């Protein structure tokens, strides 16, 4: 794949055996998000069975149902769940239910993400709590509940994939809470890789940069806002389809020896001066 041009057509990709997910049971948390939905489609094309969990019982359910019908067209069975990731107990109960219905969970992806761009002085306690809840706690809860289900698999094991953002490792004004929450998620990947390895569970992160679904993060009244993509080397925002192939690879049989890593899918954003 070159760095420029149009996003990849996943269906056109050749499928070596290690990228097949036939018979695998995958839980996608925040399946209503652009990147969650793209990963769901890619997993469906790779042959997985899917549990689509949305974060709120609102329009999210409608878009997940639409995705479900689309996947049906691809011949993939999926079920839609509402998973309130703010409470660990809810994540646990819903994950348990999903595991019962699918007969287990082999792959868990968490794409929960909530942006906040504010100076620290204007960030309220409740805003901080929200940002932590959706960018860190959610990932923690999903990793906790999913690894518990994966431990019960026969043989024990599974793949956990957490979506994060490069602001978790670089400083940018007005993103202290958001960046810190993602920094925490990236450290979660490293710590849990050690703890979960004995039970056959790998955990990795995918860290995105400026993505096409993040345009609302820029202040349009600011003349400089349109320049965000110029900081990427291909001069375009990333798309959900840029991220999904990495999630397929990490879930496939070829990546069993990969754990504790956070991969950048950011168009080189973090790698030039």
Q: Which spans of this chain sit near other proteins (rule: CB under 8 A)?
A: 166-167, 170-173, 209-210, 218, 222, 224-225, 227-228, 230-231, 233, 268-273
Q: 115 or 231: whose CB is closer to other proteins?
A: 231
The pair of structure tokens assigned to 93 is 């109960």
Q: 96 or 217: whose CB is closer to other proteins?
A: 217
A 10 A CB-CB count for 178 gives 26
Q: Which residue in the block uniquely carries the two structure tokens 């956070």?
A: 262
Q: 90 or 174: whose CB is closer to other proteins?
A: 174
Shortest gap between Cβ of 210 and other proteins (angstroms)?
A: 8
Q: 222 or 257: whose CB is closer to other proteins?
A: 222
Shortest gap between Cβ of 189 and other proteins (angstroms)?
A: 20
Shortest gap between Cβ of 44 and other proteins (angstroms)?
A: 33
Cis bond upstream, residue 155 (ω within 30): yes
Shortest gap between Cβ of 218 and other proteins (angstroms)?
A: 7
Q: 205 or 209: whose CB is closer to other proteins?
A: 209
Contact 176, 242 (CB under 8 A): no
Output the CA–CA distances (angstroms, integers) from residue 100 to 29, 104, 105, 180, in the order listed: 17, 6, 9, 35
Tell me how far apart the alpha carbons of residues 106 and 85 are, in angstroms, rounded to a whole number. Answer: 20
Shortest gap between Cβ of 219 and other proteins (angstroms)?
A: 8
Output the CA–CA distances (angstroms, integers) from residue 73 to 26, 46, 76, 228, in the order listed: 18, 14, 7, 37
Q: 121 or 198: whose CB is closer to other proteins?
A: 121
The pair of structure tokens assigned to 232 is 């990427």
Closest to 180 measured CA to CA, from 130, 136, 217, 214: 136
The pair of structure tokens assigned to 223 is 């003349």
Q: How far is CA 201 from the centre of its chain?
A: 17
Shortest gap between Cβ of 129 and other proteins (angstroms)?
A: 25
């Amino acid at each position: 794949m070159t760095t420029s041009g149009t996003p990849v057509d996943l269906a056109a990709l050749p499928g070596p055996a290690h990228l097949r997910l036939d018979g695998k049971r995958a839980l996608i948390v925040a399946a209503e998000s652009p990147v969650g939905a793209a990963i769901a489609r890619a997993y469906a094309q790779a042959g997985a069975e899917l549990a689509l969990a949305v974060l709120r019982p609102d329009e999210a359910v409608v878009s997940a149902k639409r995705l479900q019908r689309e996947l049906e067209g691809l011949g993939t069975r999926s079920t839609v769940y509402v998973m309130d990731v703010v409470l660990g107990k809810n994540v646990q109960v819903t994950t348990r239910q999903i595991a019962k219905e699918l007969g287990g969970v082999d792959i868990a992806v968490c794409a929960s993400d909530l942006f906040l761009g504010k100076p620290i002085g204007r960030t309220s306690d409740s805003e901080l709590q929200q940002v932590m809840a959706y960018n860190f706690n959610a990932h923690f809860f999903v990793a906790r509940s999913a690894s518990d289900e994966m431990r019960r698999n026969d043989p024990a094991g599974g793949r956990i994939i957490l979506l994060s953002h490069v602001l978790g490792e670089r400083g940018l004004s007005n993103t202290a809470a958001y960046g810190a929450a993602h920094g925490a998620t990236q450290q979660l990947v490293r710590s849990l890789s050690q703890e979960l390895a004995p039970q056959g569970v790998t955990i990795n992160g995918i860290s995105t940069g400026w993505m096409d679904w993040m345009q609302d993060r820029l202040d349009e009244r600011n003349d400089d806002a349109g320049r965000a993509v110029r900081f990427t080397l291909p001069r375009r925002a990333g798309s959900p389809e840029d991220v999904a192939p990495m999630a397929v690879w990490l879930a496939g049989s070829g990546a069993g020896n990969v754990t504790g890593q956070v991969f950048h899918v950011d168009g080189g954003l973090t790698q030039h001066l």
